[in-house]
Amino acid sequence: MENNRTPEILFLTCGCPPEQVGGVEQHSLELARAFRDAGLETAFYARGDRADLEEYDTYRGDVEGFPVTRVIYRWSKARSLRHIYDDETLGSVFTRFLERARPRLIHAHHMGGLGVSCLKVAKDSGIPLVMTLHDYWMICPRGQMFHSDLYSCSTVDPRLCAPCMAATWPALLPSGGGLPFSPDLPREDLPSAAALHDWLREMLALPDLLLTPSEAARKRFLQFGVPPERIHVEENGLDTAPFAGIRREPSPRLRVGFVGTLIPSKGVHVLLEAFARLPEGTASLLLAGNAPPFYQHTDYMDRIRELAARVPRGNPVEVLGSYRHEDLPDLLSRIDVLVVPALWEEVFGLTLREGLLSGAAVAASRVGGLTQAVKEGENGFTFPPGDAGALEAILRRFLEDPGLATRLGKGPKQVRTLEDMARSILDRYRNIQPDLPR
């Protein structure tokens, strides 16, 4: 490790700032800061993006003093569904890394681009292993259990999963020319999807402890076959300091906003459909976030622009694009009502809770971990996912009662602190690794 520091804890992540900045990456970095405050050293093993290196190469650096080792993986040799998750060479690379690093505990946050075989390497090493399931990737290779036909999946069924996987990765399924897991399997997709699910269940059995941020997510993994005694809810904590003292300037319009990734599963089109029905001259809308391709659906931003063009001109729509995480408090100060119109079963809902901390009122889909944070009529409202009419009715309530957003913005926050989460996770660590310093 850089500077010959031996970490007590090693985080495995699908990325690490500044190369990758997403929810998992930001969460794991904030947790490492909290562990540092508690006197424990943390290091990162993450996927890297350097274009000048070959696949499987590693390189070292640090982020805020935390040692970071990154491995290059580009899925260039993917030939089957399992290669979305794993490549045996990645396991070998991690084996060599672990021989040098020797942490006292390993915490896997997301294995995308690292290779799930790293879990087996960790298990075989005898080092205690914890895994947080931040999304549904260990059930569904698309990560959100959101079908290629753009609906939220309520269960795991190879008969539904196989056509979705074939639409998303046709070359990796037998029907599209990919290799089945065994030469004895027929060249059809259903056995491949079922075999992937069985293998993922085996991988989920490797960690000593499984965590997930919400009871809604835990239920999904129980349905998938994870024994209830092996998986526990550990709600994410947030650093509240950046949101302290946010001030909102008065506005003649109701300022509605969405902050996040503009992809179909986030339901931004539902928000635009509802917003377009509001009386002209009464509201404004801010959409902040990047719009990456969503698997085979590459035209979602065109749909967003088309819907935005239908909004009455007296209700301006601003499409801001990408933003830096440190700019989020300023962004939220421009929003009276933060809308989270998710169509998938959000595991947690980080942005929703950041909105609450900022003093915004919230309107959120009644799905997944979002409902844990919303107290109906006290800090916001919920609505059925995909129901633009119900969302419109909520927004009209704010128009009819100009002080409502301010009152709800002062309501209960329902947000756990980062420090509380760190203490709880360290207690869980020590239950399986008593040798961690106190």
**What secondary structure letter does DSSP report for 249?**
-
Q: How would residue 187 be classed by pLDDT, with cut points 50, 70 and 90?
A: low
Cα separation of 123 and 138, whole Å?
A: 17
Paired tokens of 384: 């059925």
Cβ neighbors of 303 (< 8 A, separation 6 or more) are 269
Q: How would residue 179 be classed by pLDDT, with cut points 50, 70 and 90?
A: low
Q: How would residue 183 be classed by pLDDT, with cut points 50, 70 and 90?
A: low
pLDDT above 70 for 355: yes
More confident: 325 or 57: 57
pLDDT, tens digit, for every residue of 130-150?
Answer: 999 999 999 999 999 999 999
Residues of the chain with pLDDT > 70, as a percent, come to 96
Same fold across 2-237+418-432 and 241-409? yes
Residues paired with residue 93 on neighbouring β-strands, in sequence order: none
Give the architecture (CATH level 2) of 241-409: 3-Layer(aba) Sandwich (3.40)
Provide the pLDDT for residue 3.
41
pLDDT above 90 for 175: no
Provide the pLDDT for residue 23.
87
Provide the pLDDT for residue 89.
95
pLDDT, tens digit, for every residue of 62-113?
Answer: 999 999 999 999 999 898 999 999 999 999 999 999 999 999 999 999 999 9
pLDDT, tens digit, for every residue of 211-252?
Answer: 999 999 999 999 999 999 999 999 999 999 999 989 999 999
Cα separation of 327 and 120, whole Å?
A: 39
Q: How would residue 262 be classed by pLDDT, with cut points 50, 70 and 90?
A: very high
Provide the pLDDT for residue 325.
87
Cβ–Cβ < 8 Å for 408, 378: yes
Closest CA to 106 of 128, 125, 84: 128
Mean pLDDT value of segment 264-282: 98
Mean pLDDT value of segment 411-420: 95
pLDDT above 90 for 2: no
Domain ranges of the chain: 2-237+418-432, 241-409
Q: How is domain 2-237+418-432 classified at the CATH fold level?
A: Rossmann fold (3.40.50)
pLDDT above 90 for 20: no
pLDDT above 90 for 117: yes
The pTM (predicted TM-score) of the whole model is 0.93
State the CB neighbour count (10 A cutoff) for residue 384. Answer: 11
Q: What is the mean pLDDT of the chain?
A: 94
Cβ neighbors of 2 (< 8 A, separation 6 or more) are 60, 61, 62, 67
